[in-house]
Chains A and B, each alone.
Chain A
Amino acid sequence: MQWLIAQWELIPPELQALIIVTLQIVGVMLAVIVIVAFLTLAERKVIGYMQLRYGPNRVTFFGLRLLRGVAQPFADVVKLLLKEIIIPGVSSRFLFLLAPLIVLVPALAAWAVIPFAPEFVLADVDAGLLFLLALTSMGVYGVIIAGWASNSKYAFLGSMRSAAQMVAYEIAMGFALVGVLMAAGSLNLGAIVRAQMGGFLSWNWFWLFPLFVVYFIAGLAETNRAPFDVAEGESEIVAGFHVEYSGAAFATLFALPEYANMILISALTATLFFGGWLSPLQGYLPDGNWLALSGFHWLFLKTGFFLFVFLWVRATFPRYRYDQIMRLGWKVLIPVTLVWIAVEALLAWLRIGPWAA
């Protein structure tokens, strides 16, 4: 141990910082991937119980009856990794293999600016909110390229739908974020969380409720989840943009980003509208009470709740028709955000509510 510390001291400080940051990045990435694995299980279980069935209940660790079903994600991963990767003969081979990576990288890179705890964020970027918006808008390229490179009509239709849908909902999402940054006066996510201090009624959702609803709906659409999953549309266009993908290329590169994006949108909703790592009882309980202390566990709980809502929505609503999706995005969500931004500006001008001080 002594020897290890001595060796560590010998490394130049720049290199030390580099090693620490790299370890943090790897840690966050591994955590996201493990959560993704168990989220797939949670999804099947939650939807199963909502539809009065059991969901996965066979695969277990060490034959323990108590853990039935818990090892299902690992069985799935092994199965998918061992399957053959089929590349269509007349596809654009390079783009076909590049597309999944383009979906995956932004889904993981966006975690760099999320403030996990009061003192822990990987990159304290000044324009963190813009960075997130830019990264989430990248994912659509993977979908479009996948559909085009597959050289298949179903895949192409799926990617066309996905492109139009994402462009439409990104605008609504961007406007919802404009409201958040108006409330916080900063683009830095840490500053946005700190601006919401003082119990759950001073969080952004209270004054920005319409924007919160719009953001969450746009988040559902951005992640291509039900009821906005027309890009996949099993019943109409087989599996949409990933119809030609198989094995590891499908699993690690389309299933993984979709779930990683779900976690990201949930964590962002918690951060932007529900106070991130702040405790909801802050200000209601005496200082120092353990329930009033801020910390990572609150962000974890809030994110978990929104993930549950994602699954709940999927189990509840039928798929939107394509023209209705467009109508909702352009004619309902965008006007709502525009009106509420104006209302918010008026509140700030008249110094009402959180802008009183």
Chain B
Amino acid sequence: MTPILSKPDRKSATPLSARPEHSAESPVSIHALTVAYHRKPVVWDVDYDAPPQSLVAIVGPNGAGKSTIIKACLGLAPKAAGRVEFWGQPYRAVRKRIGYVPQRESVDWDFPVSALDVVAMGRYGKIGWCKPVSRQHRAAAMECIDRVGLADYASRQISQLSGGQQQRVFLARALAQEADLYFMDEPFAGVDAATERAIVQVLRELKAGGATVIVVHHDLQTVAEYFDEVMLLNMRVVAEGPVSDTFTQDNLVKTYGGRLTLLAEAAEAVARAERGG
């Protein structure tokens, strides 16, 4: 049986930035990205260039593929088709310039490590294989934990922190990566007001320092206040661009429109065909 979705063509080595629609200035260029789990497509044909030094929200209903896009960019989810480049280079070449904040539920918070240990993990990339965490790196981690207001909690075991504090530990860990581009998966999910303010503060500092931050976001109320750019997603990109032009009533209806979209139905059909049903 011929698979319906083909593997990405690895031979086309021309950088995306050579194409007119993409630019080497962009921290991330996504080209014709399709992601499928067990051959059932979850994200179809995404094209996107993030502008440098901006805060970008990815917004859409449950199951729209918001986290999936991030994971595919970072190589954590398999690409069924398409390519992703960062500043015109492949991921492997610029790994150290990219930070990642996974969803809080993705790790085991009973793990016997302190908050500082977790933040220090952000330094591992700079430390490299087989070398211990040196005093300078620990100090740098301590500085990051201080920036999110948790200096007093540095030596606590992570299960003793509240949900909001855990989220800030993750944020501090991303800061410790000292990246130029960050991907954050639902950092605002289920946090208290103090944490939300701390996160926004950090996002603004990051932007002021020249970084771009791409955030999966669920709270439509705060999109306009917190972000410069928005990508409205429901399995495909419904609209993307500056919040002022893009975040409109019309586009939101298109993104969140109640019924199953044609794409979702098509994805189901693909999955059924693969099952032989």
A binds B: no
Interface set of B (CB-CB < 8 Å, partner A): none
